[in-house]
Chains A and B, each alone.
Chain A
Amino acid sequence: MSDLKKLYEAVVSGDAKATQALTQQALAEGVDPLKLVNEQMVPAMDEVGRRFEANEYFVPELLISARAMKAALELIRPILTARGDKPVGRVAIGTVKGDLHDIGKNLVASLLEGGGFEVIDLGVNVPPEKFIASINEKQANIIAMSALLTTTMPAMKTTIDALKQAGVRSKVKVLIGGAPITQKYADEIGADGYSENAVGAVALAKRAVA
């Protein structure tokens, strides 16, 4: 019988091979995949997030833990989808048009996935139309936007205006973040939430779908 705690440890330590092997073994033994997600992987990514906030983990450690978690999710997700299990929420995340920076966005995406969300990663330089398409075609209920430059952050307002124009603004919560972003700016442009860090973004997303 698998020691499921080893799966938690493999994710926290960023061991993708071990995570994959342990997940395969657990699934073969008939362990409920949702139990693996809720009892091992989500707490593991919560711990990774805690260590990141406490300056015990940094970007490299967070990325390898996220990679380990994704290795497990690749095995688990098809089973959950076939079963009709729904994620906590569906987040379309991207760096706004004109901005190519994505490390912050990637950290948030990883932690959201670890938090049980389905993440639609739109990448960088994302025009408003792509955010709108993620709502209409993929039923995203959260739009998460990132910008690193003061010169690209206006694209967040442009995107929110485009959501209104397209008649989809009320279908989603809009969350924003990035180095030049502030709560004041979020309030000014009509965003639903702002987080100054990646861990806070997950908490914000959970409140948004509650």
Chain B
Amino acid sequence: MTSRERVLAHLEGRPVDQLPLMPITMMFACLQIGARYRDYCTDYRVLVEGQIRTAEKFGFDYVNTMSDPAREAADCGASVEYFDNQPVAIVENQALLADKTKLASLKIPDPLGGGRMHNGIQALALFQERVGKDKLIEGWIEGPIAEAADLRGINTLMMDFFDDPAFVRDLFAFVIELELRFAREQINAGADVIGLGDAAASLVGPQIYEEFVWPYEKKLVDGIHAMGGKVRLHICGNTRRILPGLGKLGCSIVDLDSMAPISEARQQMTPGQVLLGNLNPVAVLRNGDPAAVTAAIAQCHRDAGAPFIVGAGCEVPRDTPPDNLRALCAYAHTHQP
């Protein structure tokens, strides 16, 4: 069974030979090829090489294009800062939509227009060419609140929920259109799964999540399904209070950060929901030892039950000891769902 077959079979409820393994790597993958992270973010060939080398070295079942949260925002014209050795970051004090009225004239950039989104799409095409027969290929988009925060400034957006809810809805609607266009081109380029990152959703409570965020996340998920794609949802941070909502989106995979008990996700979501996760990536994967990693992922597996995919909670930290990551991977390779 190839890696790609393994993941797709597992998502469809068919038997597999071992647990699928899909930890998120960004800076760690770049380190495997000794490249600058600036190049990993801006040159799709570097990203592809880093992902493939990492997937092969550690036995991952997939590769992905996630490098930083600022692809779409940069193409919209947001002010971003590039660093040699860490992710591209939004410059919040120069937020593109610091002036709300600018939304009315903001154009959706062409994902194939030669910008950062296009670079991500080129990565997918190269993945398809190099490993498409063996590995699952995962693209990435930002979710409604994450992208809105990138365009408006996260501190300001948080207060907009109270100050101007109508503007928030207008901004989310813009983001949905932007992200669906980006997702479509990624699927056309060969993405089997679209990763959906909506980190800021863990900062709002269940009331704001259900009233504002969930409806737009649902539009995105439904839109991607209509294109024939699958969705892996990942919200960094503590999503414990919004687990029921995450479960109702209908995502193929719900990927939980370590603060959300995976046992509670299992109780609160439909029985067939594929859960991915979720040991503590810093305290255990980076700072622990192989035995601690094995114990932690075994506990995650017990708590999650089936269906389950092995992951790292959040991004594998750059300086994670390789033997610790090997321990995580070995668990997947030697266990059945």
Whether the pair A64, B203 counts as a contact (CB closer than 8 A) is: no
| Complex Cα gap A100–B153 (Å) | 12
Q: A146 on the interface (CB 8 Å rule)? A: no
| Complex Cα gap A101–B236 (Å) | 14
Q: B45 on the interface (CB 8 Å rule)? A: no
Interface residues on B, range: 20 to 34
| Complex Cα gap A114–B26 (Å) | 38
User: Can you list 22 contacts pairing A with B, beta carbon distance less than 8 Å?
Assistant: A57-B205, A58-B203, A58-B205, A59-B204, A60-B159, A60-B205, A60-B208, A61-B205, A100-B89, A100-B90, A102-B92, A102-B155, A103-B155, A103-B203, A106-B155, A123-B93, A124-B92, A151-B27, A151-B85, A180-B317, A182-B283, A184-B287
| Smallest beta-carbon distance B224→chain A, Å | 27
| Complex Cα gap A59–B154 (Å) | 10
Q: Which of A58, A102, A106, A124 contacts B204 (CB 8 A)?
A: A58
Q: A14 on the interface (CB 8 Å rule)? A: yes
Other contacts beyond A182-B283, A184-B287: 9, CB < 8 A: A58-B204, A60-B162, A63-B155, A63-B158, A64-B159, A98-B83, A150-B318, A150-B319, A151-B27
Question: Which B123-175 residues have a C-beta within 8 angstroms of A?
Answer: 154-155, 158-159, 161-162
Q: Which residues from chain A contact B208 at a C-beta distance below 8 Å?
A: 58, 60
> Which chain A residue has the least Cβ–Cβ distance from B157?
A60
Q: Which residues from chain B contact A169 at a C-beta distance below 8 Å?
A: none
- From A102, A103, A123, residue with most partner B Cβ within 10 Å: A103
Q: A67 on the interface (CB 8 Å rule)? A: yes
| Complex Cα gap A114–B283 (Å) | 31
> Which chain A residue has the least Cβ–Cβ distance from B154?
A103
> Which chain B residue has the least Cβ–Cβ distance from A62?
B158
Q: Which residues from chain B contact A14 at a C-beta distance below 8 Å?
A: 162
Q: B81 on the interface (CB 8 Å rule)? A: yes
Q: Which of B86, B92, B161, B287 contacts A149 (CB 8 A)?
A: B86
Q: Which residues from chain B contact A100 at a C-beta distance below 8 Å?
A: 81, 89-92
- From A57, A150, A184, residue with most partner B Cβ within 10 Å: A150
Q: A152 on the interface (CB 8 Å rule)? A: yes
Question: Which A17-74 residues have a C-beta within 8 angstroms of B?
Answer: 55, 57-61, 63-64, 67
Q: Which residues from chain B contact A152 at a C-beta distance below 8 Å?
A: 86
| Complex Cα gap A59–B317 (Å) | 25
Q: A179 on the interface (CB 8 Å rule)? A: yes
Q: B112 on the interface (CB 8 Å rule)? A: no
Q: B286 on the interface (CB 8 Å rule)? A: yes
- From A57, A59, A123, A124, residue with most partner B Cβ within 10 Å: A59
Q: A98-B86, A100-B92 are in contact. Are A60 and B158 (CB under 8 A)?
A: yes
Q: B241 on the interface (CB 8 Å rule)? A: yes
| Smallest beta-carbon distance A110→chain B, Å | 11
> Which chain B residue has the least Cβ–Cβ distance from A184?
B287
| Smallest beta-carbon distance A58→chain B, Å | 4
| Smallest beta-carbon distance A197→chain B, Å | 11
> Which chain A residue has the least Cβ–Cβ distance from B86?
A151
Q: Which of A103, A106, A150, A184 contacts B317 (CB 8 A)?
A: A150
Chain A, residues 136-154, CB within 8 Å of chain B (1/0): the string is 0000000000000111100
Q: Which residues from chain B contact A184 at a C-beta distance below 8 Å?
A: 287
Q: Which residues from chain A contact B204 at a C-beta distance below 8 Å?
A: 58-60
Q: A98-B86, A150-B318, A152-B86 are in contact. Are A55 and B241 (CB under 8 A)?
A: yes
Which 10 pairs across A and B sit closest by C-beta, in order of nearness?
A: A58-B205, A59-B203, A100-B89, A60-B158, A150-B317, A180-B282, A151-B86, A60-B161, A63-B158, A59-B158
| Complex Cα gap A103–B283 (Å) | 22
| Complex Cα gap A61–B208 (Å) | 10
| Smallest beta-carbon distance B280→chain A, Å | 10
Q: Which of B159, B241, B318 contacts A151 (CB 8 A)?
A: B318
| Smallest beta-carbon distance B279→chain A, Å | 15
| Smallest beta-carbon distance B142→chain A, Å | 16
| Complex Cα gap A163–B189 (Å) | 52
- From A57, A58, A149, A182, residue with most partner B Cβ within 10 Å: A58
Question: Which B298-325 residues have a C-beta within 8 angstroms of A?
Answer: 317-319
Q: Which residues from chain A contact B162 at a C-beta distance below 8 Å?
A: 14, 60, 64
Chain A, residues 174-201, CB within 8 Å of chain B (1/0): the string is 0000011010100000000000000000
> Which chain B residue has the least Cβ–Cβ distance from A153?
B282
| Complex Cα gap A55–B203 (Å) | 11
Q: Which residues from chain B contact A60 at a C-beta distance below 8 Å?
A: 158-159, 161-162, 203-205, 208
| Smallest beta-carbon distance A182→chain B, Å | 7
Q: Which residues from chain A contact B86 at a C-beta distance below 8 Å?
A: 98, 149, 151-152
Whether the pair A182, B203 counts as a contact (CB closer than 8 A) is: no
| Complex Cα gap A101–B241 (Å) | 23
| Complex Cα gap A59–B85 (Å) | 29
| Complex Cα gap A123–B91 (Å) | 12
| Smallest beta-carbon distance B228→chain A, Å | 36
